[in-house]
Amino acid sequence: MTTKENVKRRGSGGIRRTRGERIGNRIIVVLLGMLSIVMIYPFWHVLMYSISDGAKALGGGLFFWPKGFSLFSYGLVLRNAQIWVSYKNTILKTLIGTALSVLLSALTAYPLSIRRLKGRRIISMYIFFTMLFSGGTIPTYLLVKNLGLIDTFAALILPGAVSAYNMFILRNYMLSLPPELEESARIDGARATTILFRIILPLSTPSLAAIAMFYGVSNWNSYMDALLYTNKLSLQTLQLYLRQVLLQTSSSNAAMTVAGKTEEYVSDTQVQMVIVAVSVIPILIAYPWLQRFYTKGITVGAVKG
């Protein structure tokens, strides 16, 4: 066999592949491509529907492209100044709440990852118990009320500041780190806070990024805390405002006047599509920045107990 024929029989990286392997790889590529389309198209459908002409969109069908371009439905949702107040509250809640949650999770996970800590298994079981059972909505509301947090920004952050699930992911990741790192630092005279913030946390970046994404998405999409604990419009979050817009649109006339001259039809379904797009797009923009840490952080944090 000549050198040229030998190269043709080998795949990338000089690895020899049989005909069956090549066929199998093509089938995998096709299946993954079809799966990607199935997962991406629903949001694409929402986006294309939301920028379509309201009357033409009523025909339904598949929306690979907008049916008559129109941004009137976005103007209906975004023209109210209250949405920008809600956006500000949601962004602040997401940034401050995520930072606080990650910090509290780290401060809880690190002591529980120290093997010489007496009673750490009992404490871990006590925290794990909260994943299975909770006091319920009414006791939680009464606690928030008695703490004086009703109609305060803190009520949007503190009640759900720490997730036991996320804390255990971070703890398990810290357990996977070599214990010799901490021992050598203690020999050099480092304190626990120094070891945590200058050694453990920098090495736990993948897991921190993973739980930060969990906390961030949870804070962004949170709805019940704003509904239960706040009554002021100045503390209204994006999800609560979008619900209000949807209810108002459903109970009002669907024909809206543009500049007082022409009318454009906007259906309830189109408003729903706009609401989904407005609430999801920021998360889609932020996700790629954290995705590279996601798999490693979750995988390593899940293999040790």
Alpha helix ranges (H) inside 164-237: 164-175, 179-187, 192-195, 201-203, 205-221, 224-229
Is the pLDDT at 4 greater than 80, yes or no? no
What pLDDT was estimated at residue 264?
63
Is the pLDDT at 7 greater than 50, yes or no? no
Model confidence, pTM = 0.77
What pLDDT was estimated at residue 265?
66
Residue with tokens 């010489």: 116
Q: What is the mean pLDDT of the chain?
A: 81
Q: Classify 75-302 by CATH class.
A: mainly alpha
The pLDDT tens digits of the residues spanning 223-248 come to 888 899 998 888 989 888 888 877 77
DSSP-based three-state secondary structure for 257:
strand
What pLDDT was estimated at residue 21?
85
The pLDDT tens digits of the residues spanning 157-210 come to 999 899 999 999 999 989 888 888 888 888 888 888 898 898 899 888 888 988
Confidence category of residue 89, pLDDT binned at 50, 70, 90:
very high
Q: Which residue has better confidence, 42 or 252?
A: 42
Angle between helices 164-175 and 268-302 (to 10 degrees): 30
Q: Are 262 and 70 in contact (CB under 8 A)?
A: no
What pLDDT was estimated at residue 247?
77
The pLDDT tens digits of the residues spanning 41-86 come to 888 888 888 888 877 777 777 788 888 888 888 887 788 788 889 8
Is the pLDDT at 88 greater than 70, yes or no? yes
Report d(CA 123, CA 226) in Å as an integer. Answer: 31
Is the pLDDT at 257 greater than 70, yes or no? no
